[in-house]
Amino acid sequence: MANESEKPRVITYLYERYKRGELPDGLVMNDDVVAAISVTGARLSKANPANFLKDIVRTKSANAYWPEMLKRDRITARQRYRAKRVFQFVKYPPGQTEPFPDRFPIDKKTNQYEVQSASLPFAARQLGRTEETWLTQIVVNLRLIETQLSLFSPLGPSVRDVTHLQMGLKTQPEIDAVFLASYGSSENLNTPTDLHILITCEAKQIGQRILEDQIREQVSKAMDITVEITEPKIAKVKPMAISVVEHSLKHKTKPELAIYIIEFEAIERNEFVTRWAPTEEGEQLYSMPLKPVSKTLYRVIPPVAGLNA
């Protein structure tokens, strides 16, 4: 990471200010970052302080870059959004042993599934790239969210339909893709339903971490922007995460790239408003549980440039 080696001393300087009581609630603002870069003489741009922490926490090497002083004091940080906030120093929760743990690893419960890519035009497969937008386009065009919900989700047979609504929803934080799912209270297709879930998807390139607080913020934003929608009424938000990973797939002799999709338990609107909705006084959003309910590795065949070719 270009100039990322300069950031630990800036973070250490800001943490020392926090310990002196100069940063209330551990919140670091845009102006604090700019001032810290100047004071420490770090060779870092001051043009976009909002992204100061982003390039560290989203990588698998985040723990290696985190300052030793903060590790000793069991202090990590989370990105914050809006109102010129950049990030916030927070203590490790009980049982945590490193600043940025991988909370959603591939494990024995992770499904493996092969999916065709022949429905993507050959020219498109050759022009593929590594950006999140291309990954999202693959997921949308190959109907991987529909596949996950139909074959691997607890919703399973109760799913009526899944509709892709938008890619790149420009909120803070941005939501990479949004879907709407309708489902029934039974498997009887003739039973009317008014049950709808908004699905938020976060996409990550290879080597990037799935950030739980970013997903929580996306759920909060999705609740806000759908609260006035009455047709259909959206009673729940279901977060999902998509990433490119290198893994040894079954029946293969060497690791290869695959698409990893995690489905989380849906958050009910009424419970969110009562227990998790962010306020000026509280940080309850960050204690909202994210419970994985299905995980699948998708091997895409034939190969697609930017993914596995």
CB-count exposure of residue 113 (10 Å: 0-12, 13-18, 19+) = middle
Q: According to the model, what pLDDT value does residue 1 have? A: 44
Whether residue 61 is predicted with pLDDT greater than 70 in this model: the reply is: yes
Better-predicted residue by pLDDT, 158 or 253: 158
In whole angstroms, give the CA distance from residue 239 to residue 30. 29
Q: According to the model, what pLDDT value does residue 184 have? A: 83
Q: According to the model, what pLDDT value does residue 282 have? A: 66
Alpha-carbon dihedral angle through residues 14, 16, 21, 23, given to the nearest 10 degrees: 10
Mean pLDDT, the chain, whole residue set: 91
Whether residue 189 is predicted with pLDDT greater than 90 in this model: the reply is: no
Q: Tell me the mean pLDDT in the region 140-163.
A: 94
Q: Which of 176, 148, 175 is nearest to 263 (CA)?
A: 148
Task: Summarize pLDDT for 122-147 with one digit per residue, the tens.
Answer: 999 998 888 899 999 999 999 999 99
75-80: long-range contacts, CB 8 A cutoff, minimum separation 24: 75/15, 75/99, 76/100, 77/11, 77/53, 78/213, 78/286, 79/53, 79/54, 79/173, 79/211, 79/213, 79/214, 80/27
Whether residue 62 is predicted with pLDDT greater than 50 in this model: the reply is: yes
CA quadruple 36, 61, 214, 205: dihedral positive or negative?
Answer: positive
The amino acid occupying position 196 is H
In whole angstroms, give the CA distance from residue 139 to residue 165. 13
Q: Tell me the mean pLDDT in the region 150-164.
A: 93
pLDDT band (50, 70, 90) for residue 251: low
**Which residues lie across from 192 on neighbouring strands?**
none
pLDDT band (50, 70, 90) for residue 5: confident
- Among 40-49, 184-193, 204-213, 221-230, where is mean pLDDT lowest? 184-193
Whether residue 199 is predicted with pLDDT greater than 70 in this model: the reply is: yes
- Among 80-89, 97-106, 195-204, 247-256, where is mean pLDDT lowest? 247-256
pLDDT band (50, 70, 90) for residue 295: very high
**Which residues lie across from 161 on neighbouring strands?**
182
pTM, full prediction: 0.90
Q: According to the model, what pLDDT value does residue 19 have? A: 96
Provide the 3-class DSSP secondary structure of residue 29: strand
Continuous segment of H or E residues that includes residue 271: helix 269-271
Q: Tell me the mean pLDDT in the region 140-158.
A: 95
Better-predicted residue by pLDDT, 265 or 192: 265
pLDDT band (50, 70, 90) for residue 190: low
